[in-house]
Amino acid sequence: MDANTLGDVASARWNQWHTIPWAEAFQHVRRLQARIAKAAKDENWRTVKRLQKLLVRSTTARAVAVRRVTENQGRKTPGVDGLTWSTPKEKWKAISALDSRGYRPKPLRRIHIPKASGGKRPLGIPTMKDRTMQALHWLALDPVAETRGDLNSYGFRSGRSTADAIAQCHNALSREHSPQWVLEGDIKACFDNISHDWLVRNVPMDRRLLEKWLKAGFVEGRKLFPTDAGTPQGGIISPCLANLALDGMDRLLKDSLPRRDKVNFIRYADDFVVTAISKEVLEAKVKPLIVGFLSERGLTLSEKKTKITHVTEGFDFLGWHVQKHKQFLNIVPSKRNATAFYAKVRDRLRELRGARQDDVVFALNPILRGWANYHQIVHASRTFAKLDYQVTRALWRWATRRHPMKGKRWIKRRYFRRDDSRDWLFRTDVSSLIHLAKVPVVRHVKVRSDTNPYDPKDEAYFDERLTRRMRSTLQGRRRLYWLWNRQEGICPICSAKITKATGWNVHHVVWRVYGGSDKLSNLQLLHPTCHKQLHARGAKG
């Protein structure tokens, strides 16, 4: 029996959203994705196309796509039709509505969000149905993108991150005989300018459907605008399309240039760096190759932001500053990134002018923890200490503003405590502000470049890396980590991984209303959707 038939036989037993057996659904989708990845690796494109059709037509894949769209951070943000799917009935109805026959996507709702470097970035928000259709076809396209991706491409890819990109920079530049020159590449409005014709010709998916998405247009200020180029930032499938458009630069450089030029290519989304043995190699050989590669796809390099730099002068990449001092490669948080972080803390304190101290700690801790976790893999100790001082000064201004009639010693005793040799700790009896200098600096182990999350032989490798990441995420939350470790990181309802991205709920096996206790033996970690499903079925353990 065909894999698709098996999936649909299973789905015939479903009669509502909370009856979907998620473990079976995920297994069915993963099996087909593994087959697609293998066929793409063998360059058997006829088989790839056949398997992709099987996947997007299966009810199980449609259910998985609806679940993904209704679980992510944008689930409460509507498109131009103003609709969101928040109830089980709406989600169940959406599964049967995912049919490409007669499907016509609606225009995107255009909004603008602030950029870290200043200014605003346009964001296109599809309707829930369009998002789910994109998620469905992403399930079939991503195995191909992962298999064909450049070895040192790290953006918008499963199991890869900015930490892997900066670790590869360290590998390429830190040795005694490493190349000394770096091309900092910046593609001008990458998402807005990718050629539609190139995408339709080269992306291995339903071309008519892809063209409909690309030409859907956007609505801004109640006015419809056409889209003649680019992929919308905000569409689920857009990062995958951008990766497919930019993949191949690494192979082009390696095939065109000799090893003695010491060319290394590292890319995260549309930001990339290229190393070489000399400035002349970058100017005369590397840059023309990249310009030609991008021009085929309707893209150009930004002349202002694309620079060639000696490693001793240093350069910024992904929020870090990379610079070589004699034989030591120093990677620290960039000044721009640290300044933006401090401005965010200061703005948040301004919003909390009248808040209680516990509320301030509760609001600032996630900001401090997130920034520290991002930078703890580099030489950040000195930056952490400096920012601790700046944050403390900001908190002192917040405290003195609250009590203009009180003396400084009273304010100091009221809001700041002493702990052994450490003074000026912003804490109360129940909460304490994170101290950045106490965040340990740890070495990040880079992902192996030749691994594929859809290849069964690499499954154990990615499981091991996930365990390491979750240990770091749940650091200081021993009960949660113990539960996660006991379950081997698997949700007992759907048998899928529990990660930081999926989120989790703590579930009482025997419900508290039926006398269940809070002991660890009576607790489980479940995905939020699985937790709701279990309670909707009325299970008591």
**pLDDT string in tens for the chain (541-residue length):** 444 444 454 455 677 888 888 888 999 999 999 999 999 999 999 999 999 999 999 999 999 999 999 988 888 889 999 999 989 899 999 998 888 888 999 999 988 887 766 667 788 899 999 999 999 999 999 999 999 999 999 999 999 999 999 999 999 999 989 999 999 998 988 888 899 999 999 999 999 999 999 999 999 888 998 888 888 777 899 999 999 999 999 999 999 999 999 999 999 999 999 999 999 999 999 999 999 999 999 999 988 889 999 999 999 999 999 999 988 999 999 999 999 999 999 999 999 998 999 999 999 999 999 999 999 999 999 999 999 999 999 999 999 999 999 999 999 999 999 887 788 999 988 889 999 998 888 889 999 999 999 999 998 899 888 888 888 778 767 888 888 888 988 999 888 888 888 888 888 888 877 777 888 888 899 998 888 888 887 754 4
CA angle 155, 306, 168 (to 5 degrees): 40
Task: Kindly state whether residue 200 falls inside one of the protein's structural domains.
Answer: no
Task: Give the total number of structural domains in the chain.
Answer: 4
SS (H, E, C) 182-202: EEEEEECCHHHHCCHHHHHHH
403, 438, 473 - which closes a domain: 438
**Distance in angstroms (rounded) separating the CA atoms of residues 108 and 232:** 8
Task: Kindly state whether residue 221 falls inside one of the protein's structural domains.
Answer: no
SS (H, E, C) 300-347: CECCCCCEEEECCCCEEECCEEEEEECCEEEEEECHHHHHHHHHHHHH
Say whether both 74 and 104 belong to one domain. yes
Residue 190 backbone phi and psi in degrees, to 5: -55, -55
Q: DSSP string of 483-532?
A: HHHHTTTB-TTT-PBP-TTT--EEEESS-GGGT---SGGGEEEE-HHHHH
- What's the CATH code of the domain at 483? 1.10.30
Say whether both 45 and 141 belong to one domain. yes
Say whether both 322 and 422 belong to one domain. no
Residue ranges making up the domain that contains 475:
456-539
**Distance in angstroms (rounded) separating the CA atoms of residues 418 and 74:** 42
- What's the CATH code of the domain at 290? 3.30.70.270
Say whether both 321 and 183 belong to one domain. yes
301, 330, 359 - which closes a domain: 330
Task: Kindly state whether residue 15 falls inside one of the protein's structural domains.
Answer: no
Residue 132 CB-density burial (10 A; 0-12 exposed, 13-18 middle, 19+ buried): buried
**Distance in angstroms (rounded) separating the CA atoms of residues 72 and 528:** 11
Cα→Cα distances 460→222, 465, 466, 471, 487, Å: 51, 9, 10, 17, 16
Say whether both 359 and 318 belong to one domain. no
438, 471, 487 - which closes a domain: 438
Global confidence as pTM: 0.89
pLDDT of residue 117: 60
**Distance in angstroms (rounded) separating the CA atoms of residues 449 and 177:** 22
**Distance in angstroms (rounded) separating the CA atoms of residues 235 and 216:** 12
Return all residues near 31 (Cβ < 8 A) that are at least 6 apart.
Answer: 3
Say whether both 176 and 289 belong to one domain. yes
